Amino acid sequence: MTSSDKQNTEQSSKASKSKGQKQDVPKASALPLFYKNPEPLEAKKHAGLSVRKNFGFGFTYEVNAVPINLVEMVQIAQFYPIAFSPDGHATPVAILGLRNNENLFVDANGKWEETAYYKPAYIRRYPFIFSEMPDRDQLTLCVDNVEDVIEKSKAQPFFNEDDSISEFSKSALEFCKAYHFAAQETVEFSKALVESGVLIDREAQIRLPGDKLVNFSGFKIVSAAKLAELDDKIFLEWRKKDWLRHVYAHLFSGVQWNRLTALLNARLEKEAA
CB atoms within 10 A of CB 176: 19
Render each residue's pLDDT in the chain as its tens digit; 273 residues: 222 333 333 333 322 333 344 444 444 457 899 999 999 999 999 999 999 998 999 999 999 999 999 999 999 999 999 999 999 899 999 999 998 999 999 999 999 999 999 999 999 999 999 986 555 568 899 999 999 999 999 999 999 999 999 999 999 999 999 999 999 999 999 999 999 999 999 988 887 777 778 888 899 999 999 999 999 999 999 999 999 999 999 999 999 999 999 999 999 888 887
Cβ(168)–Cβ(156) under 8 Å? yes
Domain extent at residue 217:
3-272
- Into how many domains does the chain fold? 1
Question: What is the bridge-based pairing of β-strands 22-24 and 128-132?
Answer: unpaired
This prediction has a pTM of 0.85
SS3 string, the chain, reads: CCHHHHHCCCCCCCCCCCCCCEEECCCCCCCCCCCCCEEECCHHHHCCEEECCCCCCHHHCCCCEEECCHHHHHHHCCCCCEEECCCCCCCEEEECCCCCCCCCCECCCCCECCCCCCCCHHHHHCCEEEEECCCCCCEEEEEECCCCCEEECCCCECECCCCCECHHHHHHHHHHHHHHHHHHHHHHHHHHHHHHCCEEEEEEEEEECCCEEEEEEEEEEECHHHHHCCCHHHHHHHHHCCCHHHHHHHHHHHHHHHHHHHHHHHHHHHHHC
Cβ(91)–Cβ(98) under 8 Å? no
